Amino acid sequence: MKIALAQLNFHIGNFEQNTQKILTSIALAKKEHADLIVFPEMAICGYPPRDFLSYNDFIKKSIAAVEHIATYCEGIAAIIGSPDFNTNPKGKDLNNSAFFINNGKIEKKINKTLLPNYDIFEEYRYFEPNTQFEVIEYKNQRIALTICEDLWNVGVNPLYTVNPMDELIKQHPDIILNIAASPFSYQQEKTRKEILAKNAREYNLPVLYVNHVGAQTELIFDGGSLVMNAKGELVKELKYFDEDFCVINTDEIDASEQISESENNIEAELIHNALVCGIKNYFQKLGFTKAILGLSGGIDSAVTLVLAEKALGKENVKALLLPSQFSSDHSINDAKQLAETIGVSYEVVSIEETFKAFESTLNPYFKGLPFNLAEENIQARIRAVLLMAFSNKFGYILLNTSNKSEAAVGYGTLYGDMCGGLSVLGDVYKTQVYNLAAYINRENEIIPINSILKPPSAELRPDQKDSDSLPEYDILDKLLYQYIELSKDPEEIISMGFDKSMVEKVLRMVNSNEWKRYQTAPILRVSTKAFGMGRRMPIAAKYLI
Amino acid sequence: MKIALAQLNFHIGNFEQNTQKILTSIALAKKEHADLIVFPEMAICGYPPRDFLSYNDFIKKSIAAVEHIATYCEGIAAIIGSPDFNTNPKGKDLNNSAFFINNGKIEKKINKTLLPNYDIFEEYRYFEPNTQFEVIEYKNQRIALTICEDLWNVGVNPLYTVNPMDELIKQHPDIILNIAASPFSYQQEKTRKEILAKNAREYNLPVLYVNHVGAQTELIFDGGSLVMNAKGELVKELKYFDEDFCVINTDEIDASEQISESENNIEAELIHNALVCGIKNYFQKLGFTKAILGLSGGIDSAVTLVLAEKALGKENVKALLLPSQFSSDHSINDAKQLAETIGVSYEVVSIEETFKAFESTLNPYFKGLPFNLAEENIQARIRAVLLMAFSNKFGYILLNTSNKSEAAVGYGTLYGDMCGGLSVLGDVYKTQVYNLAAYINRENEIIPINSILKPPSAELRPDQKDSDSLPEYDILDKLLYQYIELSKDPEEIISMGFDKSMVEKVLRMVNSNEWKRYQTAPILRVSTKAFGMGRRMPIAAKYLI
C-alpha cells in the first residue's frame, strides 16, 4: 500500500485555508497513486484550538470541512484529525478524533485515548478519552491508528493506566500510524525518535508518523514527520520547520536502508531555526508584515534583530536606537554597525528631552528624594512609549528582546523593556543567547564582537552591570535550568554544589516575580519548560519567598 | 456526634501560617467538645497551588504539616485536605486527598474522584482520580467523605462517567461531608445550594459543606459553608467573604428548622463585597498596603477608588488626576469631589508637558501626519508612566480600572490604561459598573452624579465618546454575555434578535483583541466566565475574524 504523509502548516480556525491545503495535498497524492493520505492530529482546525472548542459552531465547521473534503476522496482514502462531538451523553462533550475517509465518505472515527494535560497541553479540558480499540482494515492491511500521546505512555512510572497499543496489538495490525501535534523544544527531536523507535521495537511493527509544522503563537511545531521500520530504524524523514510531503510504499519499509540522522542536532542551530519560524508565522497568521524593536547595542536586541530580519526580510524591520544620558557611545556605535551590516533601517531617537519633562512634572512630588528604581524605570518606559508610537503610527509589531534569565529573576521593567507583541528570546537563557550570537557569526562578524564581549548592562544608571545584583550568567542559568526545566527542589539544587544562600536568593527572585511575568508577551517556546502557558504559578502566594 | 466546620482564609504555600490557623481552630473545637473538625479541600497548602505541585518539596511540606497537626488531634478527630503522592506507579504522581486524623495520627486517606478541568480548574493536570470508595466509620457514624466536584456530577448530560455518591451510598452512610474549594461568582451561591440540596434529597442524607474563604489573586472564595438536612433544607450557614466557625450536632440536623436565605442575593452587593475581599486579600497576601490609581472623573475609576478605599482604608489609597488638553473641567472637578468625599489624598499631575516633549521628540518622524491613535495612546501611556513612577517611588500597587466591556472589545491602551497589578473591574460589564455605583450611592451621593450620568468617554481626542465606535453598553453587554459567559454561537445570538452586522463586528473585535488581553493584569473573577485563567484562546488565529 502506498501512503502519503502530508506535513502542513495550518492556521487555527481558518477552515477555508486549511481545507484548501488539504485538498491540494490530496490532488498531489492522487497524482502519485497513493492509496491513502494522512494528515496530522486536529489538522482541520489547527492545533491547539483551545477554548474555540467551547463553541459548537467551531466543532460544526470542523466536521463540515471534513465532510466537504470527503467528497474529494474518490480513488484515495484519507485520515484527517478533527474535533468531534462525543455521542455518549455521559462524559465531556467532545472527542479528539481521527476520521478515516474512503469512497467519498467518513467510514470510521477513531478517538484519542491518552489526553495530555501537562505543560502546555490541556486536552482533558475538552475531550473525553477513548476506551474502545479497533484497527482500520483497508486494502488488506490492518492499521493501528493512534493519535500523538497514545504512543507516549512508556517507562517505569507511566502517566496513564492504559496503553492503547497494548490493546490494538491484539488485533494483529500490520503498521502503526501516529498523527501528531507535537511541539518543538531543542530536546524534542531526540526524545520523539526514541519514543517512536521504542514502540516500533516493542510491537515489532513499522511506524508512520505525521506531525504539524509551523508556529501557533508561542508553540512551534517542527515537523520532522518520519517512517521507522520494525527495528525502530529511521527510513524516511520529512523536513524540519517547513511543509513537506512524501509517499511511502509500506511493502518496502522493512527492506529500506536506515537513513542517517538529519543535521538538525546543534542546539543553537535548532533554536535559531525555530525562532525564525516562530516570528515568521506569528506575523503571517496575524496578517502583519513589519516589526520594530529597540536596539541597545547589547547582545539580546542584536540577536533579536538578526532573527527578525531573517524571518521578515530587511525591508520589513525597523530598529530604534533610544539613547539616554547613561548610554555609552560604544553601545550606539555597536547598534548602528549591526543595523548597517544587515541593511535594516534605523533611527536614533534620544530619550533625554522626554526624560527631562518627566523629571520636571514629577519634581513637586519627588524633589529631595534620591535617583533610584523609579527613575531607572521611567527611562525604560519612555522607550516603550516611543516604540509603541512608531508601532501605532506605521503599523509595526513591537518585538520584545528580553531573555529567559532576566524573565526568571524579574530583571526588567514592566511596561518598559518587557513590552512587545511577541517575546523572541523569552525562552532562551542568556548563555544560550551567546551561543545564538556565535552561531549567527559562524562565518562572518554580523553581530559586532563588542556587543558579545562587553559585560551585560541595562544602562539605566552610571556604570550599571547585570552582575551587580545577579550571579554570573553561566552559574545563574544552570541553577535556573534545574529549578524551571527540571522542577528540582531547593535541597536537590544545593546538593549539586550550588551555594545555599545564592540558591535561596535566586529562587526567591523567581517566585516573587510571578506577577511581572503574568503580564509579558507570548514567548516563543524552545525549551521543555517555557514561561507562559506551560508554567502556571500562583501570584499572591508565599512559597520559597 | 458534634462536628466543627472551620471556614478559613489560607495563604497558598504559607505552610506555617496555614498550620497555625488550623491549630487555632482545633483548640477552639476541643473547647466546644466537638468530636470531629473539618477543614476545606487542600486547606494545608491553599487553593489553587497550581504548578507549585510539580515540586516534590511542596508536597512533602504539605504532608509534613498534616503530620504535625495530627499530633494535636488527641481527643478530637480532624479531616484536612492536602495533596499527596499517588502510591500507584501508574497514573499521575499525585492525588487530591483528604486525610482523616484520629488518635493523633492519619488513619485514612480519601482521594478525590471527579477532577474538574474546565474554566479556571486544571486538576487533571496534577492528580490521578480515585477509583475505590469507602466510607469513614467514626463514633458509630458512617461518613461519606467527598471532595468538592465529587458531588457536582448531576443533570442529564453529566461531565463524568462515574458518580462517587452512587458508590458510597452502597455502604449506607449516615451523612455526606463535602470539603470544597469552590470559587465565587455572582451566580454561584444559588447553583451551589441547588447542587447540594439535590444530593441531600437524592441520597436522603444530611450534607455538611466546608468551603474556603478569601481571595487567591483572581479567584475569590466566598465561604458560605453550610449544613442541609436530608430534605435539602438549609439549617446552618456560615458567613460570606469572612472566616467563620461553627459546631453542629448531627443528631439534631433533621430536627432543625430551615433557616431563611442570607441577604446576599442582590447582584451588585455580591459583586461589591467580592471585589472588596479580592483587593484586600491581594494586598495582604503579597505584603503590600498601599494602592494608587488614575482618577479620570469617569465612573470606572470612581467605583474602583471607592472599592479600594473600603478594602485598604482611606489612608492607604492615593488618586492621581492626570488631565490632558482634552480633559474637560467637569471631569477634574468630579474626580476631586469624589476624592474629597471619601477622604482619599490626591494630586493633579498634568500630562501636557510630557506630551509636548513626546510630540517634539517624534516630530522628525511624524510631522505632516494626522493626529490619530498613536497620539491618543501616547497620552494614555504617559499616564501609566507617571502612575508607575509614584508606584516605584513610594511603594504603591497600581490598580487597573478597566471594565469587562472594554476588555472584551479591546477598547483600551496596552501599556496605558490597561496597566496595573490587579484589575478590579475587568470581570464587571459597564452596565454592572453602573449598578455598583448605584449600590455605593444607595444612601448618599458618594460617587458624583455627574460621573454616573455623563456619556462614557476616554477623553483622548476632542469630543470623543465610547458610543462613536461601540454599540450602546446595554446592548453590547447583553451580546457579550451570550458570547463570553454562555459560549453561544454567532447564529444563536443573531437569532435572539441582535443585529447581524453588529454581532459580527463585535465578535470580530472580541476575537481579534486576544493579544491585548493576554498582557493584562490578573482580573478579579466575579462571573462564571472571566478573562484570564478561565478563558484560554489562541492569539495568531482566524475565527470569526
pLDDT digits (tens, 9 = 90+) for A81-136: 999 999 999 999 999 999 999 999 999 999 999 999 999 999 999 999 999 999 99
Residue B513 DSSP symbol: T
Per-residue confidence at A47, pLDDT binned at 50, 70, 90?
A: very high
* Chain A residues inside the 8 Å CB shell of B494: none
What is the rounded CA–CA span in Å between residue A381 and residue A377? 6
Indicate which of A54, A131, A485 best probes the interface with B, i.e. most B CBs within 10 Å of its own CB.
A54
Q: Strands of B156-277 (E only): list them.
A: 175-179, 207-210, 213-216, 219-222, 226-228, 234-237, 244-249
Nearest Cα residue in chain B from A279: B540
Query: Looking at CA atoms only, how far is residue A508 from chain B in angstroms?
Result: 13
Q: What percent of chain A has pLDDT over 70?
A: 99
How high is the pLDDT of residue B264?
58
The answer to whether the CB atoms of A382 and B385 lie below 8 A apart is: yes
Cell of A480: 535556573
Neighbours of A55 (CB within 10 A): 20
Strand A77-85, strand A36-38: pairing: parallel
| A441-485 pLDDT tens trace | 999 999 999 999 988 888 888 888 888 888 999 999 999 999 999
Taking Cα atoms as reference points, which of A522, A536, A527 lies closest to residue A183? A527
How high is the pLDDT of residue A254?
85
Q: Which residues, including other chains, have CB under 8 Å from residue A91's CB and lie 6 or more apart?
A: A128, B158, B159, B160, B161
Residue identified by cell 494522512 is A38
What phi and psi, each to the nearest 5 degrees, are found at residue A254? -70, -25
Per-residue confidence at A166, pLDDT binned at 50, 70, 90?
A: very high
How high is the pLDDT of residue B156?
84
Q: Does A263 score more than 80 pLDDT?
A: no
Give the containing element (helix H, strand E) for B293.
Answer: strand B291-294
Per-residue confidence at A264, pLDDT binned at 50, 70, 90?
A: low
What is the mean pLDDT of the segment spanning A431-441? 98
Cell of A504: 535561596
- Cross-chain CB nearest to A57 (options B14, B491, B520): B491
Neighbours of A66 (CB within 10 A): 25
pTM attached to this predicted model: 0.97
Query: Between residues A63 and B327, which one has the greater pLDDT?
Result: A63
Taking Cα atoms as reference points, which of A417, A390, A330, A335 lies closest to residue B361? A390
What is the rounded CA–CA span in Å between residue A237 and residue A261? 9
What is the rounded CA–CA span in Å between residue A298 and residue B119? 42
The answer to whether the CB atoms of A347 and B365 lie below 8 A apart is: yes
How high is the pLDDT of residue B263?
60
Q: Starting from the edge strand earliest in sequence, which strands make up the sheet with A291-294, in order?
A: A345-348, A317-321, A291-294, A397-400, A422-423
CA A429 to the chain's CA centroid: 15
What is the mean pLDDT of the segment spanning A308-337? 95
Per-residue confidence at A329, pLDDT binned at 50, 70, 90?
A: confident
Q: Does A265 score more than 80 pLDDT?
A: no
* Chain B residues inside the 8 Å CB shell of A93: 157
> pLDDT under 50 in chain B at which residues?
none
Taking Cα atoms as reference points, which of B238, B292, B234, B248 lies closest to residue B420? B292
- Cross-chain CB nearest to B361 (options A57, A353, A369): A353
CA distances from B300 to B163, B185, B290 (A): 44, 20, 19
A208, β-bridge pairs? A177, A227
Q: Which residues, including other chains, have CB under 8 Å from residue A299's CB and lie 6 or more apart?
A: A433, A434, A437, A447, A451, A452, A456
What is the rounded CA–CA span in Å between residue A430 and residue A123? 33
Q: Which residues, including other chains, have CB under 8 Å from residue B91's CB and lie 6 or more apart?
A: A158, A159, A160, A161, B128
The answer to whether the CB atoms of B541 and A52 lie below 8 A apart is: yes
* Chain B residues inside the 8 Å CB shell of A216: 538, 540-541
Nearest Cα residue in chain B from A60: B489
Residue identified by cell 502546555 is A120
Q: Which of B45, B73, B148, B246 is catalytic?
A: B148
The answer to whether the CB atoms of B490 and A57 lie below 8 A apart is: yes
Residue identified by cell 441582535 is B498
Mean pLDDT of chain A: 96
- A302 close to A448: Cβ distance less than 8 angstroms: yes
